[in-house]
Amino acid sequence: MVRVEFLGPIQKEPLELDITNLSQLAVILQKDSELAQWLQNSAVAVNDTLVASLNHVLKNGDKVSLLPPVCGG
Amino acid sequence: MLYLYEGALNVPAILKDWYEQESGSNYGAYIPFVGTVRSEDGIDGLSFDIYEPILKSWFRAWQERAKEKGAIIKMAHSRGDVMLHESSYIAAVFSPKRGVALELIDLFVEDFKASAPIWKYDLKEGKRVYALERSTAIQGSGILGVQK
């Protein structure tokens, strides 16, 4: 299973999903209308490293994080 | 040297601590930047969430970049609520000569604003409202929103 966490202002509980790449995650999350805005503007990290491709392979125990727009300071 | 605190920063104490930590390190320049919460748009203050694992790796990468120039970076940031005229952020560069420190503090703070995983909320009329319009999408954002 892959754990999916929603950080900062995305008010959503973590998910546990049986998926093997980020493309599958995109298909699942795009069905959730509440997430539509966040999918367009959030970065994605796998095991706390930012990734730039949907082809990224996921394995059992991986953690995927969604990071919406930031503003520190 | 990354320091996270609950609530407002004690600016004089932090600047003094950092000065004393490096007073014998032979740096010729100590350039701090202090960010203070200003009164605007009727806010009572700001509030912050931080995602520590990625903040730490982002900061480590910057420390390496500074090291190549013989410099070090220190940074302090608040979690939770920080009210008007209090401070939530301090960044400082120590370097042998001022030119490197002045250049690095600018680059570091700019990238901090664009990349550090920290989320800001306005505190207004008892509510905590995400400051979306003042926030920046991290480079590479939006891949999960691409329709196949």
pLDDT tens digit string along A23-50?
999 999 999 999 999 999 999 999 999 9
Task: Yes or no: say if A25 and A19 are a contact pair by the CB < 8 Å rule.
Answer: yes
pLDDT at A52: 93
Query: Which of B108, B99, B109, B37 has its CA nearest to residue B70?
Result: B99
Can you give the pTM of this predicted structure? Answer: 0.96
Distance CA B18, CA B102 (A): 17
**ipTM entry:** 0.95
Q: Note the Cα B28 to chain centre separation in Å.
A: 23
Task: Check whether B62 has a pLDDT greater than 90.
Answer: yes
- Across the interface, whether the CB atoms of A9 and B137 are under 8 A apart is answered no
Distance CA B119, CA B112 (A): 12
User: What residues of chain B lie within 8 A of the CB of A10, using their CB?
Assistant: none
| Domains detected in chain B | 2-128 (3.90.1170.40)
pLDDT at B147: 82
Which residues share a beta bridge with B72?
Answer: B94
CA distance B52 to chain A (A): 10
What residue type is A71 in one-letter code? C
Report DSSP state, residue B28: S
The pLDDT confidence band at residue B134, using thresholds 50, 70 and 90, is very high
User: Averaged over A7-24, what is the pLDDT?
Assistant: 97
Residues 6+ apart with CB under 8 A from A12: A6, A34, A35
* Domain ranges across chain A: 2-67
Q: Which residues of A touch B (CB under 8 A)?
A: 7-9, 22-23, 25-27, 29-30, 36, 39-45, 48-54, 65-73
**Interface mutation target, options B87, B90, B144, B148, chain A, most CBs of A under 10 Å:** B144
Q: A2-67 domain in CATH 3.10.20.30? A: yes
